[in-house]
Structure 1
Amino acid sequence: MSYPDQRGPDEWRAVLNKEQFRILREKGTEPPGSGKFDKHYPSEGVYTCAGCSAPLYKASHKFSSGCGWPAYFDSIPGAVTRHEDRAFGMSRTEIVCSNCGGHLGHVFKGEGFPTPTDERHCVNSVSLNFSPEDKPVQPAKGESESKA
């Protein structure tokens, strides 16, 4: 699939730190409970893609799932693209940034959480930045996440 932000691997390495590159560009996963945004619950603001700064999730979409990664019941319309992921001998739904194709995590349905969508977008903190205002934050080169 083609995305508006068409940077190649060397261009991504120039703007992402090693862990961001591993997760966003190589579809890695951070260890559960290790992410900066796992237990981050602001009342306002927006979570953006750590790669391209596209707005992805509103703070009001976030909920406590206890899964060890930030969880959202929905994304900003059009911000996230879904793909079938058959890695590791199972079928899951991968979610990526619709602007740059950066790997965010996976979405799960029907788990019974009391949310409007009955979905859990399980997202790596490394894939995100946060702005307390509803606008994107562009981190400095090598900075893994904006200051929250």
Structure 2
Amino acid sequence: MAIKQVTPYLFFSGTAEKAIKHYEKALGAKLEGQGVMRFGDVPPGGNAPPCPDADKNRVMHALLHIGGGQIMISDVPSDKKASTVSNVEIVLDFDDVAETASKFDALAAGGEVTSPLQDTFWGAKFGTITDAYGIRWMFNCTLKK
């Protein structure tokens, strides 16, 4: 059986809902289906331990569509900490320079521009940011010749 697609799964320490709203506003991301599932939505019983009150409103799972791709998002339980160290960055490919710049600026709000948008030797406008939630993003827009 062939792999259908690869989907990054982003983990947060209680800020997943804020990140989702930021991605919706900055990138035009769309929540799929039922939207956000919370830890408190898990029915009692079965193999799941009781949900602590501190976790009931945390995001257990959300699927966001961004352009032709998607990302999954979750908070970790309150007694754990999401990793902030990673060698992974999410690449957003664009075909319009103005939209690239607009979304770059919007996603950078509250975060850090690690490399401003600039022309590259490979014929693209390219830049990188770390957003307000610690997620690293690459923006790439191939320039028309």
TM-score with structure 2 setting the length: 0.28
Structure with bigger helix share is 2
Structure with bigger strand share is 2
Q: Which has the higher contact order (CA 8 A, sep 6+)?
A: 1
TM-score with structure 1 setting the length: 0.27
